[in-house]
Amino acid sequence: MVLEVALIDVTPGHEDDFAAAYAKARPILAGTEGCRSVRMTRGVESPSRFVLLVEWDSVEAHDVNFRQSERFPQWRELIGPYFAGPPLVEHFLDVPA
């Protein structure tokens, strides 16, 4: 399992619009083959900052099944207009305990 972490800064004053757009866009992402879970969080100290957490079967599931599919432009069309800048996206693996 791979965890995608996307740091998203939203244009101030448009946070509620972004959250509403995310609610519409979430099923596009969540319905992608290889997607295990999707969660969006919002900053307490920085309410214009959101963190998207997506569990994927693999990096390839994210890149091929989502980013290279028709789903990605649909997703971006809904939430992209609220971005203050490009999101920072990285993938992480669990550290064994």
Domain holding 12: CATH number?
A: 3.30.70.100
Residuewise pLDDT in 10s, the chain (97 residues): 999 999 999 999 999 999 999 999 999 999 999 999 999 999 999 999 999 999 999 999 999 999 999 999 999 999 999 999 999 999 999 999 9
CA 83 to chain centroid, in Å, comes to 12
Q: Name the residue range of residue 22's domain.
A: 2-55+67-92
If we measure between CA atoms, which residue out of 43, 36, 48 comes closest to residue 94? 36
| Total number of domains constituting the chain | 1
Alpha helix locations (H) across the chain?
Answer: 15-30, 59-60, 71-79
The model's pTM is 0.95
Establish if 77 belongs to a structural domain: yes
Neighbours of 96 (CB within 10 A): 4
Asked whether residue 97 is domain-assigned, the answer is no
